[in-house]
């Protein structure tokens, strides 16, 4: 479906105002949302009970059902989508943890093929708690991690979404990765 930039922008700004805009937008962003979700699942264990398509569908439905949702532009849309995907994945991990009655949380691998901090498997709930702590003193770094990790955006895409330079995004990414590696390593040794 080929639409000019003005039409896409109009649909995005109308997104929270009704079903018509939501139906018009889905074909325009579905493939990219699916790619972002799939990038997250590349490092997940085989047989994960939540699949990329389900993640995209749930995220899109949550966003489309929010009548008051205001979206300024494409970058804003994908920032919101990343945040919603994070919430869904964390909720899923929490429900799995509750089902196991205190068993080990769901493990995810953060390696070089994935934009997150490299190293051994990390508990998704520990990562979420660490991101909350990071956001308390550096909201920009936390948003960058969220976009890269949960949104699967490249450093260039994340820089655009945050309206910062690629150089600044790279510097912030390195600092956030180092902080998270230290924070998550500390939690594993506690």
Domain count, the chain: 1
> What pLDDT does 52 receive?
79
What's the pTM value of the predicted model, to 2 decimals? 0.62
**Position of tokens 């709930």?**
125
> What pLDDT does 16 receive?
62
SS3 call for 108: strand
Rounded to whole angstroms, the Cα distance separating 75 from 114 reads 21
Rounded to whole angstroms, the Cα distance separating 67 from 63 reads 9
CA nearest to 176, candidates 125, 94, 110:
110
Q: Cα–Cα distances in Å, from 98 out to 46, 67, 105, 107, 167? A: 21, 31, 9, 15, 41
- How is residue 16 annotated by DSSP? G
> What pLDDT does 37 receive?
75
* Residue ranges in the chain modelled with pLDDT below 50: 1-2, 101-103, 106, 108-119, 190
> What pLDDT does 169 receive?
93
> What pLDDT does 110 receive?
43
Containing structural domain, residue 156: 5-189
> What pLDDT does 94 receive?
79
> What pLDDT does 183 receive?
86
CA nearest to 28, candidates 52, 51, 11:
11
The per-residue pLDDT for range 16-68, each reduced to its tens digit, is: 666 656 677 777 777 878 877 776 666 555 556 677 788 888 888 888 777 77
**Where are the strands (E) in the chain, listed by range?**
107-108, 122-123
> What pLDDT does 146 receive?
85
> What pLDDT does 46 receive?
55
36, 85 in Cβ contact below 8 A?
yes
> What pLDDT does 92 receive?
81
């Amino acid at each position: 479906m080929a639409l000019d930039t003005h039409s896409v922008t109009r649909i995005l700004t109308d997104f929270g105002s009704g079903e018509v805009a939501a139906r018009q937008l889905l074909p325009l962003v579905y493939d990219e949302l699916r790619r972002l979700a799939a990038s997250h699942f590349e490092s997940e264990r085989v047989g994960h009970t939540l699949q990329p398509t389900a993640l995209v569908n749930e995220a899109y439905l949550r966003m489309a059902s929010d009548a008051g949702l205001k979206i300024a532009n494409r970058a804003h849309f994908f920032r919101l989508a990343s945040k919603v995907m994070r919430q869904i994945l964390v909720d899923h991990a929490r429900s799995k943890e509750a089902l196991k009655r205190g068993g080990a949380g769901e493990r995810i691998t953060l390696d070089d093929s994935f934009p997150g901090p490299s190293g051994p498997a990390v508990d998704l709930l520990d990562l979420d708690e660490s991101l909350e702590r990071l956001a308390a003193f550096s909201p920009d770094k936390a948003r960058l991690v969220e976009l890269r990790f949960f949104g699967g955006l490249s450093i260039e895409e994340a820089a655009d979404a945050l309206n910062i330079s690629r150089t600044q995004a790279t510097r912030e990414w390195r600092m956030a990765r180092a902080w998270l590696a230290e924070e998550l390593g500390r939690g594993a040794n506690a």
